């Protein structure tokens, strides 16, 4: 079966609704039909300063949330990036294939480094997308389920894979982005013109999946809409309402058209109240399951150890082939 690979950063606190709807929800679905590899990208996390104890805790927390969201170690390979040394190794090779100007055009780097102050950004942050290229190519992934903000990184991956294949012979599968139109970009609840994100959103605009469900309900109910009253999907003119409709549609598996029909003649408050309830029903068991995994770190760590072993078997093979193609002398 075709292969998918994706990754998520171990952030402090919890995943947010954009991470879940834009990516993790698809990961759960794809493990049924695809040979699926998912990882917590701790190597990527250190491109910005990290406290060691927190990084360790956040890595476990990320894995616990992925399991709570529905990843099943029997159906997918779940691992921690730093457990598989081939990521850094292939990352170096990819660094040597990337043009400086090409890397300079990555918009996420421009945004993130501007936020930090250009002088304080690390070289690691600059080469972040190139490590991501290595992540994807190591597993010969056919598809990469991510949110819209990762599209440019997947395009870079395709470019570098084609470049390598052209120069050294067919080695890497050319991956395609797997980005859903409906949820590829979930917007901030207070400013629906920007994407929901840990760094840019205000606390009220950001739904953390591990927030107290009461807090979540309150945030949904105070989401910014517009001065009209019609509940209609129109992202350009009604960004806030459209965002709420997208979220509601996905969480309830109801089409946006059906939602529009069922809210005909109703006020925004009705949609918000219903969505708040749907959200609470979703996050309440999610929180409890995450806590169960956190309470049993031995099981969690052994899931990750098994995942790393499976991942390494694939990654080592690709790296060996890559080294051979490049012309590295084999160690006898």
Binding residues: 9-11, 18-19, 135, 147-149, 186, 195-199
Asked about 115 being catalytic, the answer comes back as: no
Q: For ligand TYM, give the closer residue by CB, 41 or 319.
A: 41
Residue (205 or 259) nearer to ligand TYM, CB: 205
- The dihedral of CA 295, 298, 299, 304: what is its sign? positive
> CB of 298: closest distance to ligand TYM in angstroms?
26
Smallest separation (angstroms) from ligand TYM to the CB of 136:
5
Q: Find the helix packing angle between 268-294 and 213-221, rounded to 10°.
A: 160
Count the neighbouring beta carbons within 10 Å of the beta carbon of residue 200: 14
- CB closer to ligand TYM out of 86 and 263: 86
Count CB-CB contacts under 10 A for residue 170: 9
Our answer to whether residue 332 is catalytic in this structure is no
Instruction: Determine phi and psi for 108, rounding to 5 degrees.
Output: -65, -40
Cβ proximity to ligand TYM, 150 vs 208, nearer residue = 150
The whole-angstrom distance between residue 217's C-alpha and the CA centroid of its chain comes to 24
**Annotation: binding site for ATP:** 9-11, 18-19, 147-149, 186, 195-199
Which residues fall in the annotated binding site for L-tryptophan? 135
The nearer residue to ligand TYM, 127 or 263, going by C-beta atoms, is 127
Buried b (16+ CB within 10 A) or exposed e, 226-262: eeeeebebeeeebbbbbbbbbbbbbbeeeebeebeee
How far apart are the C-alpha atoms of 266 and 98, rounded to whole Å? 54
The count of residues in the chain is: 332
Q: How far apart are CA 243 and CA 72, in angstroms?
A: 29
Cβ–Cβ < 8 Å for 76, 37: yes
Token pair of 296 as six digits: 């049993």
CA distance 226 to 200: 21
Catalog residues that contact ligand TYM under the rule CB under 6 A: 5-9, 18-19, 22-23, 41, 44, 132, 135-136, 144, 146-147, 149-150, 184-186, 195-197
Catalytic-residue membership of 110: no
Between the CA atoms of 288, 215, 20 and 68, what dihedral angle is there, to the nearest 10 degrees? Answer: 0
Q: Catalytic residue numbers? A: 112, 195, 198
């Amino acid at each position: 079966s075709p292969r998918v690979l994706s990754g998520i950063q171990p952030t402090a606190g919890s995943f947010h609704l954009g991470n879940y709807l834009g990516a993790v929800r698809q990961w759960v679905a794809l493990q049924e039909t695809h040979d699926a590899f998912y990882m917590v990208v701790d190597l990527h996390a250190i491109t910005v300063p990290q406290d060691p104890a927190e990084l360790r805790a956040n890595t476990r927390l990320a894995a616990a949330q992925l399991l709570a969201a529905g990843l099943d170690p029997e159906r997918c390979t779940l691992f921690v990036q730093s457990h598989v040394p081939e990521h850094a190794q292939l990352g170096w090779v990819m660094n040597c294939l990337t043009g400086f100007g090409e890397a300079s055009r990555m918009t996420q780097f421009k945004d993130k480094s501007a936020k930090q102050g250009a002088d304080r950004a690390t070289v690691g942050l600059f080469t972040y997308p190139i490590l991501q290229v290595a992540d994807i190519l190591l597993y010969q992934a056919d598809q990469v389920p991510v949110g819209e903000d990762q599209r440019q990184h997947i395009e870079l991956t395709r470019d570098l894979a084609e470049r390598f294949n052209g120069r050294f012979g067919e080695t890497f599968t050319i991956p395609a982005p797997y980005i859903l139109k409906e949820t590829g970009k979930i917007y901030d609840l207070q400013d629906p013109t920007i994407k929901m994100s840990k760094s840019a959103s205000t606390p009220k605009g950001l739904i953390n999946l591990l927030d107290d469900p009461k807090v979540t309900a309150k945030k949904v109910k105070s989401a910014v809409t517009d001065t009209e009253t019609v509940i209609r999907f129109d992202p350009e003119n009604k960004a806030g309402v459209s965002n709420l409709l997208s979220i509601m549609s996905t969480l309830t598996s109801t089409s946006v058209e059906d939602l529009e029909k069922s809210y005909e003649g109703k006020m925004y408050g009705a949609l918000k109240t219903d969505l708040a309830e749907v959200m609470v029903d979703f996050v309440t068991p999610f929180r409890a399951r995450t806590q169960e995994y956190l309470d049993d770190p031995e099981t969690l760590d052994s899931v990750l150890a098994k995942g790393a072993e499976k991942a390494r078997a694939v990654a080592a093979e690709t790296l060996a082939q890559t080294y051979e193609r490049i012309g590295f002398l084999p160690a006898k």
